[in-house]
Structure 1
Amino acid sequence: MTGVSAAVGRLRPTWRVVLYLPAYFFASLVIQIPLFVAWVIVLALSGQTPPARLEDIPLIVQVLSAGASLVAALGITFAFRRFVDRRPFLDLGLRITKGLASEVIIGLALGLVLIAGVFFIELGAGWLAFDGFAWESRAISSLVTSLAGWFILFVCVAIYEELVFRGYVLQNLEYAWGPLVAALGSSVSFAVFHALNPGFGFLGWVGLIAAGLLLAYSYLLTRALWLPMAFHLAWNFAEGPLFSFPVSGLNTSGLLEVRPVGGDSLLTGGAFGPEGGLLGLLAVTLGGAILWAWGRGSAKSAAQQEIST
């Protein structure tokens, strides 16, 4: 058996994924390395040294890094679709459809509500201490600039991670192995992508695979990337810049000033954030149930409209 389909003269889907992922990571590094080298040179010229922790890297550098990853994802994915898959780039789930607005709204609302639920459970259980709002200790202009920077960063993250994992990886694996294997394979790849994040452990694996399965389901439900992108953005932005949780091990400056004062990390996720705890896993499971109910309602409504016409 070869890696090329004799019928169409294209590389088999699994081999496309095997080549695509390292190609994306390499392209991302190629674009980001000059950025970080330039930053280190600027620090050296000013007599400073690079910070030891990821969260201490200036926000503008993190935003540029996320933008570089987005450029790499768009470029590599377009090239693979054009020359390897020989299929339209927009067919990955990027076409404008009549369901786009509702899918974006559902994704944004669901991500925000689920993280808010985790926050209020921890606050009510006494595991978080609320010290006030960020605008009480920071200038409004600084706070707005920070929130805007984090929003841009998480927009980039949502687009490139969904394009890579629920776009190219999931859809090629589905073509070869069906939706269940594809959902699991893309979710494991998604978890591996975050394996070097601070605080990553066993429950981090479980939580990120579960989150990947939810995102995969949201694509399979709509056959578009708009819902998973919107959910991914809302979850990350609410988790970090709004409610001040770590985002998969990375700390951000939050709108609410809170600090952990108790609670088993098995439940809260500890330094990794909700994705590494049972509360986060519960939120993801609830999100899946809500999407299932929404999908059933949408299908029923569409069927009724078809009958009436």
Structure 2
Amino acid sequence: MTMFDSARWTHPLHLGERGFLHPGPLRWLRALGWAVALFFLVAITSFSTSDVLGKLWPKTSGPGQLAAHILSALVGLGIYALAVRLAEKRWPSEIALRPLLPQLSVGLLIGGAMFVAVMAVMATFGLYDIQPQGAAPAWRAVSKAIQSGFVEEIMLRAVLLRLVWRAFGPWVAFIASAALFGFGHMPNPNATVFAAVAIALEAGIMLAAFYALTGRIWMSVGAHAAWNFTQGYLFGAAVSGGDFGPAIARSVARPQFPEWLTGGAFGPEASLPAMAICSAVGVAATVMAWRAGQFAKSPT
């Protein structure tokens, strides 16, 4: 028996049964329409809050920028909870607070450990030049990790994955949410089709599997945030083509190796080692969710 066999980790999936999602004609269409509306409602309110609050403090104020991102994440969670309560006539168990700390902690450990494993492979085979830089302020990296971890997981897993699952079942939902997550990175600097496919396969599937396994978004939030923080701050590598700010190391792909092997200027998440390690974790989590009956039983 594993720790995930206990009710502490695996909870029933609540996809929505009442209100706007009541059983009846065209529920699949209502679910899709609600997914689009809720996706943009969370995105607009959360990112607008971050922009407005971020302007209240100088960009050089690390604590101020961190506070802005924390508040924007809380606004996103609050708006999501209120909208689900009003439209679906339920309190959203997928963001229940009781399992937050244990599941978030496990997600943080998994996300950090996965990226360390990726860079261990890179260092072993000489694919990256990794140079220590010394102490550096972490405000910007923590801010970005919170925004990507919390807000993106609400939008991609609590909204899109859940409601497409409601409309068409789990496998279409897995594919749709992973594809949007991967190809949503295409506008980023140095993005390639291979990078988008890599992110869809390694992260899109894995983060969806954590949600399916636990019935909550917290493990996905933790893994997403910790991966980005470890990548951008601890190793100082590019994160989806962007800069996470000051870092305690600097990691750059060696140019003599192909980009599909190292991720190139986009970052290690677009590399073959990352795809292999994260996909293995995603498959394992999917199998565990399957064995726990999260796919087979009728959603509550």
Identity %: 25
SS at match of 1:250: coil
CA contact (8 A) 1:92 1:171 kept: no
* Distance of aligned partners of 1:64 and 1:270 in 2 relative to their CA distance in 1, 3 Å threshold: farther
Quick check: which has more Rg, 1 or 2? 1
| Cα distance in 2 for residues equivalent to 1:35 and 1:105 | 28
| Structure 2: runs of 5+ lacking an equivalent | 1-19, 294-300
Task: Return the structure number with greater helix share.
Answer: 1
What are the residue-to-residue correspondences of 1:289-304 with 2, within 5 Å?
Answer: 289-291=283-285
Query: Retained in 1: the 8 A contact 2:46–2:151?
Result: no
Residues 145-195 of structure 1: per-residue CA shift (max 9 Å, x gap): x22542244134312221221112211111111111112222233235433
Q: How does 1:42-121 map to 2 (within 5 A)?
A: 63=66, 66-67=69-70, 69-89=72-92, 91-97=93-99, 101=102, 103-121=103-121
AA aligned to 1:114 is M
Q: Given the two structures, how large is their TM-score scaled by the length of structure 1? A: 0.74
Report Cα offsets for 1:57-100 as digits up to 9, x if no partner: 875676466346424422431232022222213x1242424x96
**Equivalent of 1:249 in 219, 236, 241:** 241
Size of the alignment, in residue pairs? Answer: 269
Equivalent residue number for residue 237 of structure 1: 229
Q: Check conservation: 1:248, 1:275, Cα contact below 8 A.
A: yes
> Quick check: 1:259 aligned with 2:262?
no
Give the equivalent residue in structure 2 for 1:222.
214
Normalising to structure 2: TM-score of the pair?
A: 0.75
What secondary structure does 2:242 align onto?
coil
* Counterpart position of 2:154: 163
CA distance in 2, matches of 1:105, 1:29: 25
Q: 1:166 to 1:6 in 2, by over 3 A?
A: closer
Encode CA deviations 1:108-134: one digit per residue, 9 max, x unaligned.
232122211221222222222233342
Q: Any conservation in 2 of the 1:107–1:229 contact (CA below 8 Å)?
A: yes
- The whole-number CA distance in structure 2 between the counterparts of 1:236 and 1:132 is 18
- Matching of residues 30-49 of structure 1 within 5 Å: 30-35=48-53
1:278 aligns with 2:281: no
**1 CA distance for matches of 2:282 and 2:21?**
36
Alignment RMSD (CA, Å): 3.3
The DSSP-based 3-state class of the residue aligned with 1:134 is coil
Aligned to 1:138: none
SS across alignment from 1:259: strand
How far the C-alpha of 1:282 sits from its partner, in A, is 1.3
Do residues 198 (structure 1) and 200 (structure 2) align?
A: no
Letter in 2 for 1:279: P
Q: Tell me if the contact between 1:243 and 1:256 (Cα under 8 Å) persists in the aligned partners.
A: yes
Q: CA deviation at 1:23?
A: 2.5
Q: Which residue of 1 aligns with 2:32?
A: 14
The CA deviation string for residues 5-28 of structure 1, in whole angstroms up to 9 with x for no partner, is 675798821110121223333324
2:7 — aligned with what?
Answer: none
Work out the CA distance in 2 between the residues paired with 1:226 and 1:243. 24
Task: Flag the 1:190–1:34 CA change in 2: closer, same or farther, 3 A.
Answer: same
